[in-house]
Amino acid sequence: MNKDYKTLADRKNEYLAYEGTEVITWCGGCGNYGIQKALERALVLEGIKPKNTLFCYDIGCHGNGSDKIGDKTVYTLHGLHGRVIPVAGGAAVANSNIKVIAEGGDGGTMSEGVNHLVHAVRSDYPMVFILHNNENYGLTTGQASACTRQGRPMNGSPDGVISPPMNCCDFALGLNPSFVARTFSGDVKHMTDILRAALRHNGFAFVEIMQVCPTYNRATPQEWYLERINYLKTTPKTIEAARKACADLDQKISVGILYQDKKMPNYLERLVNRQGVKTTSVEEVGRVDIKGLLKQFE
């Protein structure tokens, strides 16, 4: 437990601060409930106070949590579809004193925003990114995403999806990442442990959460995942071993920390012009007298 929390009462108060007061409107049985609770628990257990967090949400069912988590105590941003990563990355680079957590769905992340994911991984921005993978565009009533399983009928593709699904973790592992993990929305304890590790990581922490969608993706309910989840006992030591471990999406779906490089310098640590600088970019912003500059245009 972080030294800032001296008693259980301290932790309880911080947890309640993350809770929020707005009524949650996700469908009954949605994986978002467990994900949000796991994230709140992870933040409290890591001693990260609400005032030191920034939550950035993409468009999607998960994004409906933007005004639900700590609505009176934390900073939140609800972005454009597929564009949450660059906004969150900019915030993380501008102010390394706050913990930036971005969340996106498989639709916006692996289609419209896949280019942003590519460069966030390779640049290694110091932030956490949570990918909600429910294998469909749930907010727009269940169209197929890049992660929907081949052959599955969906709204907009009633004859079945013709292309094989993207393996999100394998995709990220192909970009020389510093942290890739996978967990399951039906196991709050495991999600909490994985998110705690992601919050501690000094770089871009990519966390895929295999998420149930009881309304629009009934082919993979909670029971389907429970029969196939494989908990990794150790973290693979190489990217090649990690890609092998996460390859199966049908019968033995491995969850855990798939790969972590604790020695890789993150984006800020690579910047030559920031080496030795102890202030953040936002701390360096101030008023500048430009009267002299303007005189040359008179």
Tens-digit pLDDT profile for residues 159-215: 999 999 999 999 999 999 999 999 999 999 999 999 999 999 999 999 999 999 999
For residues 259 and 235, the answer to whether their CB atoms sit within 8 Å is yes
- Exposure class string for 222-253: b at 16+ Cβ within 10 A, else e: eeebeebbeebeebbeebeebbebbeebeeeb
132: pLDDT strictly greater than 70: yes
Contact 88, 109 (CB under 8 A): no
272 falls within a domain: no
**162 lies in some domain:** yes
Q: Tens of pLDDT along 15-74? A: 778 887 888 889 999 999 999 999 999 999 999 999 999 999 999 999 988 888 877 788
Give the bridge partners for 143, in sequence order.
Answer: 137, 155
Domain-located, residue 3:
no
Quote the domain boundaries for residue 227.
8-263+277-295
Residue 134 lies in a domain: yes
Residue 16, domain member (yes or no): yes
Separation CA 60–CA 149 (nearest Å):
19
The first and second tokens of residue 238, run together, are 């190489």
Assess if residue 57 is contained within a domain. yes
What are the tokens at 163?
A: 């292309």
Q: What tokens does 38 get?
A: 């796991």
Surface-to-core class of residue 37, CB atoms within 10 Å of its CB (0-12 exposed, 13-18 middle, 19+ buried):
middle
Q: What is the pTM for the complete model shown?
A: 0.92
Query: Which residues are registered as beta bridge partners of 229?
Result: 253
**92: amino acid identity, one letter:** A
pLDDT level of residue 7 (50, 70, 90 thresholds): low
Residue 1 lies in a domain: no
pLDDT band with cut points at 50, 70 and 90 for residue 9: low
CATH of the domain at 185: 3.40.50.970
**How many domains does the structure of the chain reveal?**
1
Question: Looking at the domain assignment, is residue 268 inside a domain?
Answer: no
Distance of CA 183 to CAs 41, 54, 87, 93, 192, Å? 15, 22, 25, 27, 9
Closest to 176 measured CA to CA, from 121, 241, 235: 121
